[in-house]
Amino acid sequence: MIAVKNQNSDLEQTMVKLIQQAYYLEAKNPSEDDVLISLAKTLDLDIKQFTQDLNSESTQQLLSDDIALMQSLGVSSFPSLVLQTTNGIKSITIDYNNPKLILNQIIT
């Protein structure tokens, strides 16, 4: 996502959908560079730049920073939801079958 965002942050959600489709419907491994590059081509990104950004030192540092933030928030799965309030940060349990549970955690 970092390599996509470097070129066009408006395409991040589209890339998320493409990655999910590739993984769940096409059994492709989104941790492989060639899979990500193939998906990036469908977004009309500059593939040379995308490939360079994909494994660049700055991208790896941003990824490490994101992982450290996730760990500090107690986030261990995707998607995850955390709520920041004046009382601190609260992890919200996601239950796709019970949206009231999610809302109750947010309002209490």
CA dihedral 9, 63, 19, 89 (to 10 degrees): -80
pLDDT digits (tens, 9 = 90+) for 4-59: 999 999 999 999 999 999 999 999 999 999 999 999 999 999 999 999 999 999 99
Residues 79, 76: Cα–Cα separation, whole Å: 9
Asked whether 37 and 47 are in contact (CB, 8 A), the reply is yes
Counting the structural domains of the chain, the total is: 2
pLDDT digits (tens, 9 = 90+) for 50-104: 999 999 999 999 999 989 988 888 888 777 889 998 988 888 988 889 999 999 9
Amino acid at 79: P
Contacts of 47 (CB under 8 A, 6+ apart): 37, 40, 41
Asked whether 81 and 102 are in contact (CB, 8 A), the reply is yes
Do 16 and 66 lie in one domain? The reply is: yes
Please give the residue range of the domain that contains residue 101: 74-107
Do 91 and 40 lie in one domain? The reply is: no
